Amino acid sequence: MPEASRVIPYGVLFLFFLLSTFICTNHACKEADHNSLLSSFDISSSCLNWSSSDCCHWEGIACDADGRVTHVSLPSKWLQGSVSSSLGSLTHLLHLNLSHNLLSGPLEAGLFLSSSHLEILDLSYNHLSGDLPLFLSSSYIQIVDLSNNQFDATIPSSFLQHAWNLSSLNVSKNHFTGQIPSFICLRSSSIRVLDFSNNNFNGSIPLGLGNCSKLEIFRAGFNTLSGTLPSDLYKAQALHEISLPSNQLFGHISDNIVNLTRLTILEIYFNHLSGALPLHIGKLSKLKLMLLHLNNLEGPLPPSLMNCSNLVELNLGFNRLDGNISELSFSKLDQLIKLDLVSNHFSGAIPKSLYSCKYLKAVRLSGNDLEGQIQPEIVSLKYLSFLSLGRNRLTNVTGAIHILMRLESLSTYPSSRLVGTDSPMSPALYIY
Ligand SMILES: *[C@@H]1O[C@H](CO)[C@@H](O)[C@H](O)[C@H]1NC(C)=O
Ligand SMILES: *[C@@H]1O[C@H](CO)[C@@H](O)[C@H](O)[C@H]1NC(C)=O
Ligand SMILES: *[C@@H]1O[C@H](CO)[C@@H](O)[C@H](O)[C@H]1NC(C)=O
Ligand SMILES: *[C@@H]1O[C@H](CO)[C@@H](O)[C@H](O)[C@H]1NC(C)=O
Ligand SMILES: *[C@@H]1O[C@H](CO)[C@@H](O)[C@H](O)[C@H]1NC(C)=O
Ligand SMILES: *[C@@H]1O[C@H](CO)[C@@H](O)[C@H](O)[C@H]1NC(C)=O
Ligand SMILES: *[C@@H]1O[C@H](CO)[C@@H](O)[C@H](O)[C@H]1NC(C)=O
Ligand SMILES: *[C@@H]1O[C@H](CO)[C@@H](O)[C@H](O)[C@H]1NC(C)=O
Ligand SMILES: *[C@@H]1O[C@H](CO)[C@@H](O)[C@H](O)[C@H]1NC(C)=O
Ligand SMILES: *[C@@H]1O[C@H](CO)[C@@H](O)[C@H](O)[C@H]1NC(C)=O
């Protein structure tokens, strides 16, 4: 029968396929790796079920065709104790993910000396402390995530010496000290992500970022970095995000920043930046977040800023900016949700064009030198839930209240709430 004779060969093939996948994946774990795993983890205190004899079948473990352990993936397993140096004997290890556990203590000096194939190292969300090993010996390493631990030493300049293929380094939320490692991109030109934020790094931002031709995200906020923004930062053309808030950076933002045309996030608030905003900043047409508040910026807003039509949040509060804002047209900023210009020296009337930014939820213009009246057109801001205009020279408060009562999303408060310190973003109205 033609039907059956077709079925049988397929069946045989299928059986053969099953058998061969079984053979290929069922290599018994090499004894050395078995023993390394067992001495690396305190199984009794974790929730690991490692009872079968073949370690290649244990939860979180994967092996290659020779029965050598290549993956140890044990996130969120209540693992305790130190990261055992026995892990370093897993010479074929590619991925090590021990994130979200209770591991503590320092990493031993020779820990990764034999892990020469390691590609991914994720030890984030543990309680690790102390020094880092001098070297990560693997030249294949791509991702290093040590974030959310208690490391409190410097990062040895040799640590990533062989990391030619590093694409992401995240050491955020630790207590690292000393300098941010310099020339990181001379060794690893494939770096896309650098996150040094929330540590105790000091000194200046090192030169060398200009060689980070693939760098997309650079974060080093909440440290005590000082000095100016390095000139070659503006050469890292792939940058999407520059995030350096809460440091002691000074100097101005160079006009060369307009070369970073992919920039969507620029946050350098709470520093000592001075000088004017770059004249042609409008060339950064992808900017969504521009947070430069709490600096010493001065001068008028460059008209080109009003060409950043993708801006969602613009915060320039607590600077020394000035100029007549009635001459600016906000009409292209139609994605804007938050506008904060508090405590500057802006003058003139609130431009009617601002009322065309129809998604605006929060506007804070208090503490300037604004004059004139609130126009009835403001009622088109139907999502507006925070408006603060106090400490200006606006007139016709009665008229303003009549207009603003028509804005439903703007909760009205007893008059005592109309004065005083306005803390942004909770629904409120402050016009005095
Ligand atoms: C542990 O895993 C084995 C199979 O690998 C299974 O037979 C056994 O029931 C499991 N034990 C527990 C407590 O889950
Ligand atoms: C490690 O595991 C966690 C939890 O599954 C996961 O979210 C994380 O992306 C993994 N890390 C890496 C670098 O793949
Ligand atoms: C780096 O990665 C590329 C492509 O992923 C690979 O061909 C190359 O061998 C790697 N080099 C090293 C030193 O790991
Ligand atoms: C770095 O890790 C932290 C968590 O530990 C995370 O919040 C942050 O997004 C990571 N950085 C990047 C750039 O992915
Ligand atoms: C950075 O901090 C270390 C101590 O944590 C100190 O020895 C060093 O002088 C500081 N460097 C700078 C440039 O402030
Ligand atoms: C990149 O590094 C090379 C080698 O040190 C150097 O000559 C070059 O100027 C650097 N390029 C940038 C943009 O920093
Ligand atoms: C910015 O780009 C222009 C044109 O590509 C180039 O001439 C200029 O040198 C660049 N500036 C910086 C700082 O890279
Ligand atoms: C804003 O963009 C328009 C259109 O691209 C351009 O003609 C105009 O010169 C820009 N304005 C400023 C001030 O850069
Ligand atoms: C601001 O500009 C407008 C329009 O050019 C003008 O009428 C007004 O007097 C100016 N206000 C101040 C304080 O310069
Ligand atoms: C005050 O504002 C209201 C509402 O916009 C307006 O009708 C009235 O003419 C204004 N009064 C003065 C003196 O400008």
Predicted local distance difference test score (pLDDT) of residue 236 = 95
Instruction: For 383-416, write each residue's pLDDT tens digit.
Output: 998 899 989 999 988 888 889 888 877 764 433 3
Q: What is the mean pLDDT of residues 283-305?
A: 97
- Residue 309 CB less than 6 A away from ligand 8: no
pLDDT of residue 19: 41
Q: Is the pLDDT of residue 321 over 50?
A: yes
Residue 68 in tokens: 């050598």
E strands present in 228-270: 241-243, 248-251, 265-267
Pocket test for ligand 8, best of 280, 301, 307 (most atoms within 8 A of CB): 307
Stretch 331-345: mean pLDDT, rounded?
Answer: 97
Band (pLDDT 50/70/90 cuts) for residue 111 is: confident
Q: What mean pLDDT is predicted for residues 292-310? A: 97
Q: Residue 385 has what pLDDT? A: 87
Give the pLDDT mean for 137-145.
Answer: 91
Q: Give the pLDDT confidence score for residue 187 in this predicted structure.
A: 75
Assess whether pLDDT exceeds 70 at residue 75: yes
**Whole-prediction pTM value?**
0.90
**pLDDT averaged over every residue in the chain:** 88
Region of poorest pLDDT, from 78-82, 205-209, 419-423: 419-423
Contact 358, 337 (CB under 8 A): no
Q: How confident is the model at residue 71 (pLDDT cuts 50, 70, 90)?
A: very high
- For residue 347, name the pLDDT band (cuts at 50, 70, 90): very high
CATH of 71-382+391-408, one of 1.20.1560.10, 3.30.470.20, 3.30.300.130, 3.80.10.10: 3.80.10.10
Q: Does the Cβ of 254 fall within 6 Å of ligand 7?
A: no
pLDDT digit string (tens) for 260-278? 999 999 999 999 999 999 9
Residues in the chain: 432
Tokens 């001065």 -> residue: 298
Rounded Cα–Cα distance for residues 252 and 227 (Å): 11
Evaluate if residue 17 carries a pLDDT over 50.
Answer: no
pLDDT at 417 over 80: no
Would you say the CB of residue 420 lies under 6 angstroms from ligand 10?
A: no
- Which residue has better confidence, 40 or 430? 40
> Cα 353–328–343 angle (5° rounding)?
100
Which protein residue has the closest C-alpha to ligand 6 atom 9?
Answer: 211
Whose Cα sits closest to atom 12 in ligand 1?
49
Question: What is the 384 CA–ligand 9 centroid distance (Å)?
Answer: 26
DSSP 3-state helix, strand, coil percentages of the chain (rounded to 5)?
Answer: 20, 20, 55
Q: How far apart are CA 273 and CA 266, in angstroms?
A: 13
Please identify, by atom number, the ligand 8 atom nearest to the C-alpha of residue 307. 1
Cα distance between residue 275 and residue 262, in whole Å: 23
All structural domains of the chain with their residue ranges: 71-382+391-408
Answer with the residue of higher pLDDT: 27 or 412: 27
Q: 5-9, 191-195, 253-257: lowest mean pLDDT where? A: 5-9
Q: With cut-offs at 50, 70 and 90, classify the pLDDT of residue 428.
A: low
